[in-house]
């Protein structure tokens, strides 16, 4: 759904790499709050092409609820980082340890041909692979964002298993 919205927006707004307002304003803090900027930029470039049932302003994020009851929110700091909640989003967001358990990390950053962005460069919304070394061990337990300790790469493990939780998944899914 996100990638379809990106494709539709490209028709009216050009390639995402040229959405300067999205990338600059969406990642700029004004008055100590990123969420207003993120909402403005998302509202211009992607929201018109998505079916959002309702929005809920939480402490430092806006939760976008989808027709099936799942939801997503942007990072409180960057419009490129998107967190998906298959169900019970608010309950999940109240947890301290939630990545790869009830919150799943995606990223939309089609710019940046540097090696750390190679899995996202020129693409739409993708599973979070920033700085990934390309190895299975890197997804599971090696590197800064591995599933076992950080939880960021957990979404990639699920994607690589046909969007099913594999038997060797290092975290316990809880909602």
Q: What is the pLDDT of residues 93-116, one digit of tens each?
A: 999 999 999 999 999 998 878 888
CA distances from 125 to 80, 101, 109, 122, 175 (A): 9, 20, 8, 10, 24
Tell me the pLDDT of the chain averaged across its residues.
Answer: 91
Q: Nearest-CA neighbor of 27 among 78, 98, 92?
A: 78
Identify the pLDDT of residue 35: 63
Average pLDDT over residues 152-172: 97
Residue 7 to residue 3: CA distance in whole angstroms: 6
- pLDDT bin (cut points 50, 70, 90) of residue 6 is very high
HSE, CB side, 13 Å, CA atoms: give it for residue 17.
8
User: What percentage of the chain exceeds 90 in pLDDT?
Assistant: 73
* 97: exposed, middle or buried (Cβ count in 10 Å: 0-12, 13-18, 19+): exposed
Of residues 112 and 154, more confidently modeled: 154
Mean pLDDT over 15-34 rounds to 72
């Amino acid at each position: 759904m996100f990638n379809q919205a990106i494709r539709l927006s490209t028709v009216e707004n050009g390639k995402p790499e040229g959405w300067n307002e999205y990338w600059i304003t969406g990642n700029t803090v004004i008055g100590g709050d990123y969420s207003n900027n993120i909402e403005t930029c998302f509202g211009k470039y992607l929201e018109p092409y998505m079916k959002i049932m309702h929005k809920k302003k939480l402490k430092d994020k806006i939760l976008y609820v989808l027709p099936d009851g799942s939801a997503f929110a942007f990072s409180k700091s960057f419009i490129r980082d998107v967190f998906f909640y298959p169900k019970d989003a608010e309950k999940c967001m109240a947890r301290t340890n939630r990545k790869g358990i009830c919150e799943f990390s995606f990223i939309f950053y089609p710019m940046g041909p540097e090696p750390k962005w190679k899995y996202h460069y020129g693409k739409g919304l993708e599973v979070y692979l920033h700085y990934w070394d390309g190895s299975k061990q890197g997804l599971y337990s090696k590197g800064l964002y591995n599933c076992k300790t950080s939880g960021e790469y957990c979404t990639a493990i699920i994607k690589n298993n046909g969007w099913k939780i594999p038997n060797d998944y290092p975290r316990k899914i809880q909602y």
